[in-house]
Structure 1
Amino acid sequence: MPDSGTIAPVSPLSNRLLAMNESATIAMAKKSRELMAKGFDVINLSFGEPDFQTPQYIKDAAKQALDDGYTFYTPVPGIPELRQAICDKFKRDNQLEYLPNQIVVSTGAKQALANAVMSLVNPGDEVIVFSPYWVSYEEMVKLAEGTTVTLAGSLENDYKVTAAQLEAAITERTKLIMYSSPCNPTGSVFTREELGAIAAVLARHPQVYALADEIYEYINFVGEHVSLAQFPEVKDRVITVNGFSKGYAMTGWRLGYLAARQDIASACEKMQSQITSGTCSITQRAGLAALRGGRSSADEMVEAYRRRRDLVLEIVRDIPGFKTPTPSGAFYIFPEVSAYFGRTTPDGSTINTSMDLAMYLLNDALVSAVSGEAFGAPDCMRFSTAAADDKLVEAFRRVKVSLAKL
């Protein structure tokens, strides 16, 4: 027993760190790996990672870059050739005109998002985040000492927030909105009409900026991808973030970028200059080859993702209590699972939350998924469909068996 006069040590950690949560997707993947290390046959559907190899022509470009001596520091916002290729991509795919000095290349799209939030948000600024949202959005806002205002899209509207909801949520303190399309975790895709209505709202509030996360742009099952920046009345207030991890299966390469008007791009460059500087030289040469090679390899992967989505939906819709909209993009399903709350597990525990359900499935079915709390949707769960067909069939067979025990 310590002496009654002993004073507990004060944590040396900063308040900003203590206020942050660990990424739920990374936490569940970590738990999965721990079980795998003990010999358990875990099927990990918690990570948003393509199971495809990076296309060979991109790997070859990286090898060539090594042989050619591209081993030195790069400019903070990216090598000029890559920034020009990104401009060409925006013109080709999105009908958007940018100059290379409006592009900032980062170590993954996550860093590009963080650069933008830290460059725009002051303490007390309100940031409207469309919910369900990717797990890191709220934590980035916390880091910038902003205030997150979540807007929840309804299940009936495929989880998409409406322009009317946005109009009602904007106050004099609103500085930024954040959303993704195609959406992680729901797979929902905003239509041209929906984004046009949102652009009209933003046009009436010139103090509000938008951070559009388009990392899943190429993984789209409904055809047209629309960028908010395509609406001229708001283009100068839209920061568009994209990258290579999903469409080109380059997760481990860590390469993303943003496009914004000049002063915002320069601010993001300044932020990055003090944290990481320019991203990996070899990775940038690989990204250059990826863009110059077009999107045929991405289109091939999309067809596989579409098949897997349909395969999983056919199984999941036979699971009682799962309400699962059809995703229009990305590689997830996001069922509403609250029908299982209040039920008892075989060992006598009670399922009170989607986190409880995720942990039950991990331990009983040996299937790893992510609870909806982390995405601002506590009644839901996210399962990745970026796995081989046989793995997906086996995973959801196990899930169905385990849920039947409740």
Structure 2
Amino acid sequence: MTTQHEISERCLHLPSSNFDKIMKMAIENKNVISLGPGEPDFVTPEHIKEAAIIAIDKGYTHYSPIGGRAETKEAIAKKLKKDNGIDASPEEIVVTCGSQEALYLATLSLVDPGEKIIVPDPGFLAYIPMVETVSATPVSLPLREENGFEFDPGELERLIDQRTKVIIINSPSNPTGGILKKKTLEKLADIAIQHDLVIFSDEAYEKLVYDGKKHISMASLNGMNDRVLTFQSFSKTYAMAGFRIGYVAGPIDLIKAMTRLHIYTTVSAPTVSQIAAVEALNGSQKCVEEMRKEYDRRRKLITKRLEEMPKISSLKPEGAFYAFPNISKLGMSSVEASNFFLKKAKVLVVPGSEFGRWGKGYVRMSYATAYEKIEEAMDRIESAVRKK
């Protein structure tokens, strides 16, 4: 085809990704170990797969109700009460095609062009483009290493003005692996109430916490249930990334607005995936703990090895499955370091700058890959760094 079409400004303004270029380089190079993936390397647990297979065999291959099947929403409401301390009725839940769709629906439902959303920086790489796509303005909230990658409440308050509508938080964090402490969340609650703001709480990694740390849901704090949207995913906890299933819970007026938009985006989340999600929530949770323990084993390995390397330092991740080492003493930018690791060590990592300007000087390393591969990747990186 030779016809050239005029692409929308909305699409043209989306940022290009250096990670895409690095991925292409990795494909062209043989014997590359990837520490890039943001999804579990585990196969979906058998009892969940079996529920999906039975659903297909029984003919559950049609549309579901717009906001989600009743059985699925009831299981989610029960889980939120038991695990998170969140009181949400089934009517206050929308089942979506992953939590990322839920985040987008929430942004479209609540934020008008020109209004502001405060986003964690470094933060999940989809936040800023998502905000910009709806013609809103993203405002970066720095997460500094010296603060354990927690935000400074005073700095947050200085970023708020009359156009600020939403604050996004992500704990445990992608990419830093940090967890927001209860006292930080309580200060955030005070700020949200004082300035009449809504919190988007992205909790996709809630079950992946280590060293006795506890995940605290923002909506469980006093006075916050009516101003927090809680976003959850089955992708990370249950290794169900390909099922494309997630959900959001929150105030009924926002949920109704999101449901109206959901009709015109994906209509409904996949029926088979919703049935599998019920089994995930109601069935044995042994698989969740087994995966968490293996991630913890890998976390300890990657942290130990990074600590032993010259010119590289890394805080021990408290959650998720990412390390976020500081590579600034190598005298390279994040992109340059990622290219260096790929070319000299044949290891793929993600430049920290992909996650915001406060990610410069870092790279993200995923330990959602086999223990043996992580060992080999660390051997290669250490050898390359010592020879530099």
Give yes or no for contact 1:162–1:198 (8 Å, CA) kept in 2.
no
Q: Does 1:43 align with 2:33?
A: yes
Query: Residue by residue, what CA displacement relative to the aligned partner does 1:52-74 show, whole Å, maximum 9, x if unpaired?
Result: 11110000101110111101111
Give yes or no for contact 1:105–1:279 (8 Å, CA) kept in 2.
yes
Amino acid at match of 1:164: G
Indicate the residue corresponding to 1:368 in structure 2. Answer: 348
Q: Does 1:356 align with 2:346?
A: no
> Which of residues 19, 29, 51 is equivalent to 2:13?
19
> Which of residues 326, 348, 362 is equivalent to 2:316?
326
Give yes or no for contact 2:213–2:318 (8 Å, CA) kept in 1.
no
Query: Residue by residue, what CA displacement relative to the aligned partner does 1:175-194 show, whole Å, maximum 9, x if unpaired?
Result: 11112000000111112121
Counterpart mapping for 1:292-331 below 5 A: 292-331=282-321
Indicate the residue corresponding to 2:206 in structure 1. Answer: 217
Give yes or no for contact 1:28–1:46 (8 Å, CA) kept in 2.
no
Structure 1 residues 26 and 292: alpha-carbon distance in aligned structure 2, compared to 1, 3 A threshold? farther
> Which of residues 377, 382, 386 is equivalent to 1:400?
382
Report the CA distance between 1:234 and its aligned residue.
2.3
Counterpart mapping for 1:183-194 below 5 A: 183-194=173-184
- Higher RCO, 1 or 2 (CA under 8 Å, sep at least 6)? 2
Unaligned runs of 5+ in 1: 1-8, 342-350
* In 2, Cα distance between equivalents of 1:167 and 1:27: 37
* In 2, Cα distance between equivalents of 1:58 and 1:68: 16
Structure 1 residues 52 and 10: alpha-carbon distance in aligned structure 2, compared to 1, 3 A threshold? closer
Structure 1 residues 281 and 28: alpha-carbon distance in aligned structure 2, compared to 1, 3 A threshold? farther
Is the partner of 2:231 in helix, strand or coil? Answer: strand
Indicate the residue corresponding to 1:68 in structure 2. Answer: 58
Indicate the residue corresponding to 1:391 in structure 2. Answer: 373
Give yes or no for contact 2:86–2:225 (8 Å, CA) kept in 1.
no
Is the partner of 2:31 in helix, strand or coil? Answer: coil
Structure 1 residues 193 and 358: alpha-carbon distance in aligned structure 2, compared to 1, 3 A threshold? same
Amino acid at match of 2:206: E
* In 2, Cα distance between equivalents of 1:178 and 1:294: 32
Query: Residue by residue, what CA displacement relative to the aligned partner does 1:282-333 show, whole Å, maximum 9, x if unpaired?
Result: 1111111000115321111111111110011111111111120011100010
Structure 1 residues 375 and 96: alpha-carbon distance in aligned structure 2, compared to 1, 3 A threshold? same
Unaligned runs of 5+ in 2: none
Give yes or no for contact 2:235–2:244 (8 Å, CA) kept in 1.
yes
What's the RMSD between the two structures over aligned residues?
Answer: 1.6
Report the CA distance between 1:43 and its aligned residue.
0.8
Give percent identity, aligned residues only. Answer: 36
Superposition TM-score, scaled by structure 2 size: 0.95
Structure 1 residues 65 and 89: alpha-carbon distance in aligned structure 2, compared to 1, 3 A threshold? same
Q: Does 1:249 align with 2:231?
A: no
Indicate the residue corresponding to 2:103 in structure 1. Answer: 113
Amino acid at match of 2:352: G
Is the partner of 1:69 in helix, strand or coil? Answer: coil
Superposition TM-score, scaled by structure 1 size: 0.91
Report the CA distance between 1:232 and its aligned residue.
2.8
Report the CA distance between 1:86 and its aligned residue.
0.4
Amino acid at match of 1:275: T
Higher-Rg member (1/2) = 1
Give yes or no for contact 2:201–2:228 (8 Å, CA) kept in 1.
yes
Q: Structure 1 segments of 4 or more deviating over 4 A?
A: 22-31
Amino acid at match of 2:360: P
* In 2, Cα distance between equivalents of 1:184 and 1:142: 20
* In 1, Cα distance between equivalents of 2:38 and 2:312: 21
Counterpart mapping for 1:133-144 below 5 A: 133-144=123-134
* In 2, Cα distance between equivalents of 1:273 and 1:31: 40
* In 2, Cα distance between equivalents of 1:274 and 1:402: 51
Structure 1 residues 31 and 242: alpha-carbon distance in aligned structure 2, compared to 1, 3 A threshold? farther
Indicate the residue corresponding to 2:252 in structure 1. Answer: 262
* In 1, Cα distance between equivalents of 2:309 and 2:280: 40
* In 2, Cα distance between equivalents of 1:109 and 1:25: 22
Give yes or no for contact 2:121–2:142 (8 Å, CA) kept in 1.
yes
Query: Residue by residue, what CA displacement relative to the aligned partner does 1:243-287 show, whole Å, maximum 9, x if unpaired?
Result: 100010111111111001111111111122111111111111111
Structure 1 residues 101 and 29: alpha-carbon distance in aligned structure 2, compared to 1, 3 A threshold? farther
* In 1, Cα distance between equivalents of 2:279 and 2:361: 42
Structure 1 residues 374 and 262: alpha-carbon distance in aligned structure 2, compared to 1, 3 A threshold? same
Is the partner of 2:387 in helix, strand or coil? Answer: coil
Indicate the residue corresponding to 1:125 in structure 2. Answer: 115
Is the partner of 1:114 in helix, strand or coil? Answer: helix
Higher mean C-alpha displacement, 228-237 vs 141-150: 228-237
Report the CA distance between 1:403 and its aligned residue.
2.1
